[in-house]
Every structure is written in structure tokens, then in C-alpha cells.
Amino acid sequence: MEATEDLPQWFLTHAVDLVFNIAEGTHGEHRESQVPAILESLGVPFTGSNSITLALALDKAKTKQILAFEGIPTPPWQLFPNPTTRLNPQLEFPLIVKPNREGSSKGIWRESVVGDEASLHRQVAHIYDRYRQEVLVEEFIDGMELTVGVIGTEALPVLEINFAPCEPSGEFFYSWRMKEFQGNASMGLTPRLSCPARLDAARTAQVQEVALRAHCALGCIDLSRTDIRLGADGTPFVLEVNPLPGLSPLDSNFPIMTTAAGLSHQALIQRIVELAMARYRQISRSQPGEGRSRVHPQERSTSQGLAVSRVAP
Ligand SMILES: Nc1ncnc2c1ncn2[C@@H]1O[C@H](COP(=O)(O)OP(=O)(O)O)[C@@H](O)[C@H]1O
Ligand SMILES: [Mg+2]
């Protein structure tokens, strides 16, 4: 089903057991929460996180406030509501400038990493003009790039994205160009992916624990993917949490991690469906006699009972 404007009408005229939600929404600052909000209002069960988590995770600065409150490391930052905002002198260059509410590295280019105040203000003005939203400025963490999937209450094997092979292209992190043309050898955009990441067991466990804590802090349900960079002393800094990670077996990072954990793509999809079904069954058992329209999947993951999956050999 396309998530078009007539979607609510469609659900009113069709019986649905469960929606497998991959909708990113149409427009607006809370777009990823639109379809879950419709489904919640109609009482239709769906996979994955609810509307509040999806809206929250799309706001990187609000996400960082929650992470910081929970004691989860995230790069020092400042939100620029507009280009006239003055830089907090406590932030240390190099800094990275990002639109606060985009994804897929939209608005993130190699020029986004700035080494002085004049370039910073130029870049902030440029992002503000182009995206018409607040601009997030963060310390640039020049360490290993990792991403960690969580499924159910388990962290998957860590995926490392190494940009060293891309050096001749001038791209050195997961910029828009890097994501858009990943694998294009003639452009030199062939990062080396390692899953599991080249980390010792203790660091791996620490990174997985941070991803699980971030997943819980944002109230993610069924699955998420947390982007992390390692600081010079090995601290895993959370860049952002993705409660709606891409699941394409062709070019998404999440399935690389589930494959490393020994799950086929079919088994991954099945697992997500089963997690959602179990959640809704539990809710309807605890609310016997209530109609479908009263079913609300408010159950949140908690930090209790979390498990870390064994890395596949
Ligand atoms: N503070 C940072 N330090 C180092 N690299 C960063 C930082 N913030 C973003 N990046 C780089 O930019 C990429 C995209 O940023 P991210 O915050 O994950 O936004 P998006 O939602 O577009 O994926 C990251 O995967 C990473 O390569
Ligand atoms: Mg990201």
C-alpha cells in the first residue's frame, strides 16, 4: 500500500490483521509518524515503533537531549534555530553541520565538516536556506563508524563502515554522495563493510549495550538501528537512532547485520511480524472483551531482560 492521503479511507473499508510498516510519510517535520498515527487512531495493529518514537527520532536534537539525560554518550552539540545564532565557544572544531530533521544524509556533504567559524556560519546559512529548519552543529568525531541493529531485545553483530578505500574520491564519511552512490567503483565510493566490526569482545559488548540503551531510551519497538562513532578513547558516541531502518536486502545496512547473525531475509521479516503479533496478542489478552478499536500497543521495551546476540562465526 502506498501511504497516500486516502490511506485512512482504505483502512475503513478493508479488514487488516497487521500492517508491516515501512512508510516514511509524505511531508512535514513528523512525517514518519503519520502512518503509525493513522493506524493507532483506527486501532489497526502494525509492526515497529509507535508515532511518538518515530516523530522523536526524526528530531536529532531532541533525541540527543534524551540520550544525554540517560547518560548515553552523544557528540557535544548546539542547535541553531536560525543563522544568526552565535556559536557556543565550548564546542571544539572540527564541527559538522546537519539539518536537524532529515535522514539518508540529506544536506550532509564533505563541506559540512568545518574547521573555523566563518565556514561554520556559511554552512549553517546554506542549510537553513535550503531546508528551512533548525540546523544541528556537532563536534565531528573522527573515529571508526559503526551502526548497530536491535531486533526484539537483542543487539545484532556490529557493522563497521570503513571509508579509507574512498580517500581518493575526497569523501571521508557517510555523506549524501557516499550513501547515494555507495558501491560505485568509478567514483571511488566503495567503503569497506565489516560485520562483525573489527573490535575486541569488550568493545563490541560496550557498543551493543549503548545501542540497546539508545533503543530503549527512545522507546523503540521491534527494531532499530543506531549510528555510532568511536571517540579517540574508544567512547561510543551515538549520532542518531533510526526506528525505521531500511530493510532492503539489496542496499540496506540492517539486513547485513541480520545475515551475520544467521537470519535469512525471510526469517528477518518473519521475526518482525512475530514480535508485533506477540505484542498485540498480549495486549488483547490483558484487555479481554475490548474491541479492536481499543487495542493500543503501548507496551514499551524496557532495559530489563535485554540480551546481546552471539556473533555468528
Ligand atoms: N558528529 C559526527 N561526527 C562524525 N561523523 C558524523 C557526525 N554526525 C554525522 N556524521 C556522519 O554523517 C553521517 C550521517 O549523519 P547522521 O547523523 O547519521 O544523519 P542521517 O540521519 O542523515 O543518517 C554519519 O553516518 C556519519 O558518517
Ligand atoms: Mg544516520
Q: What is the pLDDT of residues 218-234, one digit of tens each?
A: 999 999 999 999 999 99
pLDDT at 165 over 90: yes
CA 285 – CA 257 distance, rounded (Å): 33
Residue 169's SS3 state is helix
Mean pLDDT of 32-41: 94
Q: Where exactly are the structural domains of the chain? A: 77-139
Closest CA to ligand 1's atom 11:
174
Q: pLDDT band for position 297 (50/70/90)?
A: very low
The reported pLDDT for the residue numbered 289 is 58
Report pLDDT digits (tens) over 220-269. Answer: 999 999 999 999 999 999 999 999 999 999 989 999 999 999 999 999 99
C-beta of residue 252 within 8 angstroms of C-beta of residue 246: yes
- Nearest listed ligand to the Cα of residue 91: 1
β-strands 154-155, 307-308: how paired? parallel
The reported pLDDT for the residue numbered 291 is 45
- Helical residues (DSSP H) of 14-111, grouped into ranges: 34-42, 51-57, 60-69
pLDDT at 312 over 50: no
Other C-beta atoms closer than 10 Å to the C-beta of 141 total: 23
> What's the whole-model pTM score?
0.92
Here the contacts of 10-17 (C-beta below 8 Å, separation 24 or greater) are: 11/38, 11/39, 11/42, 11/44, 12/42, 16/44, 17/45
Pick the atom of ligand 1 nearest to 145's CA: 27
pLDDT at 37 over 50: yes
- How would you classify residue 289: left for phi > 0, otherwise alpha for psi between -120 and 50, otherwise beta? left
Closest CA to ligand 1's atom 26:
174
Written as nine digits, the cell of 276 is: 508485533
The reported pLDDT for the residue numbered 279 is 95
Report pLDDT digits (tens) over 51-103. Answer: 999 999 999 999 999 999 999 999 999 999 999 999 999 999 999 999 999 99
CA 134 – CA 107 distance, rounded (Å): 12
Q: Which of 59, 64, 108, 225 to mutate to test the pocket of ligand 1 (most atoms within 8 A of CB)?
A: 108
CATH top class, domain 77-139: alpha beta
Mean pLDDT of 145-158: 98
Between the CA of 285 and the centroid of ligand 1 the distance, in Å, is: 42
Question: CB within 6 Å of ligand 1 — which residues?
Answer: 75, 96, 98, 102-105, 108, 138, 140-141, 145, 173-174, 227, 229, 239-240
CA 78 – CA 29 distance, rounded (Å): 19
The reported pLDDT for the residue numbered 282 is 86
Q: Which of 29, 135, 173 to mutate to test the pocket of ligand 1 (most atoms within 8 A of CB)?
A: 173
Exposure letters 77-92 (e unless 16+ CB within 10 A, then b) = bbbbeeeebeeeeeee
Q: pLDDT band for position 286 (50/70/90)?
A: confident
Mean pLDDT of 2-8: 89
The reported pLDDT for the residue numbered 5 is 86
Residue 276's SS3 state is helix
C-beta of residue 242 within 8 angstroms of C-beta of residue 225: yes
- Helical residues (DSSP H) of 221-264, grouped into ranges: 254-260
CA 269 – CA 94 distance, rounded (Å): 40
User: What one-character-per-residue DSSP string does 193-217 give?
Assistant: EESS-S--HHHHHHHHHHHHHHHHH
Written as nine digits, the cell of 240 is: 542518531
Between the CA of 281 and the centroid of ligand 2 the distance, in Å, is: 33
Q: Which of 63, 67, 98, 161 to mutate to test the pocket of ligand 1 (most atoms within 8 A of CB)?
A: 98
